[in-house]
Amino acid sequence: MTDLPPDLPRLRTLESWLQLTLDQVQRAIAAAETREAERQRGIEARPPAPDWLIEQGLNRDSPPVQVHDGDCWNAGKRTRGIKRDEALRALADGVKACGACRPDSELGFLD
């Protein structure tokens, strides 16, 4: 025994409602697939993480505060990526090495 109505007009009404609902679901699926494809493109187009970071002071005119490894958990929000030679130069100029990631050891920098 089914829960479907036995007469043709109600079956046609049910068919129309199911078609409308299916169209809505298919549009939602297409939108979700588009969002996922855009997210995936964003991940693929993301530039690689920098090998080294330099943490700036509190304002624009402040000198750099610390040098970090590129994936240091202790790096603050005021960081920017730098190259190896820039990190070495900063350490040589007296910028402090992060105590958590120890970039001076990784760079082979000796005081």
**Cα(16)–Cα(8) distance, integer angstroms:** 12
Question: Are 39 and 60 in a shared domain?
Answer: no
10 Å Cβ neighbour count for 88? 18
* pLDDT tens-digit series, residues 36-58: 999 999 999 998 889 999 999 88
Same domain for 80 and 61: yes
Q: What is the DSSP letter of 54?
A: E
61 and 87 share a domain? yes
Q: Are residues 84 and 100 in the same domain?
A: yes
Q: The whole model's pTM is what?
A: 0.61
The residue behind tokens 């190259």 is 83
In a domain, 1, yes or no: no
**The pLDDT value given to residue 28:** 98
Consecutive H or E run containing 69: strand 66-69
Distance CA 68, CA 18 (A): 58
Per-residue pLDDT reduced to its tens digit, 14-23: 999 999 999 9
Residues 58 and 95 in one domain: yes
Do 38 and 61 belong together in one domain? Answer: no
Domain that holds residue 92: 52-107
Write out pLDDT tens, residues 72-108: 998 888 999 999 999 999 999 999 999 999 998 888 8
Instruction: Establish how many alpha carbons lie within 13 A of residue 60's alpha carbon, considering only the half-sphere containing its beta carbon.
Output: 0
